[in-house]
Amino acid sequence: MNQSIKGIVLSLAGLVLFFGSLQAQTDTAAVLKKISDDVFTNGKSYINLRFLCKQVGQRLSGSHGAAKAVVETARMLREAGADTVYLQECMVPHWVRGAKEVATLELGKGKTYNLKVAALGNSVGTPGSGIKAQVIEVKSFDELNKLGEAGVKGKIVFYNYPMNPTYINAFRAYGEAGVYRGRGPSMAAKYGAIGVITRTLSPNLDDYPHTGSTVYNDSFPKLPAVAVSTNDAEYLSKALASGPKEVYIKTNCRSLPDTVSYNVVGEIRGSEFPNEVLTVGGHLDSWDLAEGAHDDGAGCVQSIEVIRTFKSAGIRPKRTIRAVMFMNEENGLRGGTKYAEIAVAEKEKKFIFALESDAGGFTPRGFGYTMNAQQGQKFASWKNLFYPYGASDFVPGGGGADIGPLYRQLQTPLAGLNPDSQRYMALHHATNDVFEEVSERELKLGAIVMTQLMWLVSEYGL
């Protein structure tokens, strides 16, 4: 073959490859559009979320609401058309708030001010008579360490560390300020404090105290701990500036024995590789204060919607798709842990991908991903397909708390839906995390890009 003919042959081969790949691209885009149209036209995620919020309501692990949520989401998965729906039993912590907590600031001359507070999740209650002591405000652990036992012993420590308002990504500020909720009580206990107040993790100045887990260090006494609303954190700080003050705190929370609960799983069997399992999920439990609309009712109904859309649009996945409602993300992660434990035991199956939506039902911006370099390259190559849906920001890092154990146990590649984060922290773990705060179109758009991504992985693997 002379060079010029070889050149022509190569060019023709190139053209065939080029048009072949162009056709594949067109076909792929057409499937993504079909998914989008189906969700916007027939989608049930918003209706399901309304039910979960208004007919089920709060669903903290171990509660009646959580039990009801298991039954109802199993029904939703059946109605969505899952081939099989089943439960995975797991034991979960059973923390209860008890009667509404009280924190009263003594202003002197018989005057008092009731601070708006919520006991932190997992925290111990005060004695029946409550606790009363001088409040010491610190801005950081550094300040606490400097005060030491001499400054802290017998007192109530008030961590007043605001979320950094200048970070664009709200989760960054949450991560930074969140350590005071998580480790603050035990750090204060180390120096002999008798109680803790933490500033609510919200960027807004308002009246909603936000709960959330605290994690005790077993080396120290477990202190009662409450979050105070941001407005009242400011109020308390101002009051303390004019001189020492005492606060009376009474919380009624306690941990009951672990109880049985469930992950809820709905599956569509893969047509070509049924033993290759793709997991998509959110967590079914919420805090007790609210309906858990964004955290994480949204992720649950979006995952159910993935199943519904495959069925409704008549798209048969090559690989098995599992929608999972994980139990107990908020205060134990027992559901996610159990799911991975069962996965490890299912030797004949390969858990090749997992996606979680647990950052709210807001407009999706893209996905974060945790996987090896080769998988990551393939994953990121899809980003432009998501540009028409406004979700092409693919960034390394991310996944979700509930699917983390899958990665740790089986190196399953992970992704997390990254919605716009601006509104999330103002309602996270608080009474204002309600259905009315969810936009139907934003929720559906999240479900769309999740379904699209699940289809891509089911079709092409990773």
| Rounded distance between C-alpha atoms, residue 132 and residue 113, angstroms | 14
Least Å from the CB of residue 287 to a copy of itself = 21
Least Å from the CB of residue 233 to a copy of itself = 17
| Rounded distance between C-alpha atoms, residue 438 and residue 357, angstroms | 15
| Rounded distance between C-alpha atoms, residue 278 and residue 83, angstroms | 15
Which residues are known to be catalytic? 329
Instruction: Name 91's Cβ contacts closer than 8 Å, sequence gap at least 6.
Output: 258, 259, 260, 261, 334
323 in Cβ contact with 281 (< 8 Å): yes
Distance of CA 241 to the CA centre of its chain: 37
Q: Which stretch binds a copy of itself (CB under 8 A): 21-29, 256-264, 377-385, 386-394?
A: 386-394
| Rounded distance between C-alpha atoms, residue 284 and residue 300, angstroms | 6
Question: Does position 168 bind a copy of itself by CB under 8 A?
Answer: yes
- Give me the residue label for tokens 């705190």: 249
Q: Which stretch binds a copy of itself (CB under 8 A): 36-44, 141-149, 175-183, 269-277?
A: 36-44
380 in Cβ contact with 374 (< 8 Å): no
Nearest to 49 by CA among 433, 454, 455: 433
Between 95 and 389, whose beta carbon lies closer to a copy of itself?
Answer: 389
Least Å from the CB of residue 444 to a copy of itself = 9
Question: Does position 153 bind a copy of itself by CB under 8 A?
Answer: no
Q: Which stretch binds a copy of itself (CB under 8 A): 241-249, 278-286, 336-344, 437-445?
A: 437-445
| Rounded distance between C-alpha atoms, residue 431 and residue 118, angstroms | 10
Nearest to 337 by CA among 60, 93, 90: 90
- Give me the residue label for tokens 């308390």: 236
Least Å from the CB of residue 431 to a copy of itself = 15
Among 389, 394, 435, 455, binds a copy of itself (CB under 8 A): 389
Provide the Cα torsion 263, 268, 274, 278; round to 10°. -50
Q: Which stretch binds a copy of itself (CB under 8 A): 140-148, 176-184, 304-312, 384-392?
A: 384-392
What part of residues 200-219 is at the interface with a copy of itself (CB under 8 A)? 203-204
Instruction: Name 338's Cβ contacts closer than 8 Å, sequence gap at least 6.
Output: 88, 89, 90, 263
Among 105, 340, 426, 430, binds a copy of itself (CB under 8 A): 426
156 three-class SS = strand
Among 79, 246, 439, 461, binds a copy of itself (CB under 8 A): 439
Least Å from the CB of residue 388 to a copy of itself = 6
Question: Does position 363 bind a copy of itself by CB under 8 A?
Answer: yes
Beta strand 195-199 pairing with 111-115: unpaired
Q: Which stretch binds a copy of itself (CB under 8 A): 33-41, 50-58, 192-200, 367-375?
A: 33-41
| Rounded distance between C-alpha atoms, residue 401 and residue 403, angstroms | 6
Question: Does position 175 bind a copy of itself by CB under 8 A?
Answer: no
Among 28, 31, 40, 172, binds a copy of itself (CB under 8 A): 40
Question: Does position 357 bind a copy of itself by CB under 8 A?
Answer: no
Least Å from the CB of residue 405 to a copy of itself = 31
Among 143, 207, 440, 459, binds a copy of itself (CB under 8 A): 440
Structure tokens at 458: 């089911």
Among 222, 422, 431, 461, binds a copy of itself (CB under 8 A): 422
Between 81 and 162, whose beta carbon lies closer to a copy of itself?
Answer: 162
| Beta strands in 193-316, from DSSP E residues, in sequence order | 195-199, 225-228, 246-250, 254-268, 273-283
Q: Using CB under 8 A, count the residues that bind a copy of itself.
A: 25
The residues of the shown chain that bind a copy of itself, judged by CB under 8 A, are 36-37, 40-41, 165-166, 168, 170, 203-204, 363, 365, 388-390, 393, 420, 422-423, 426, 439-442, 445
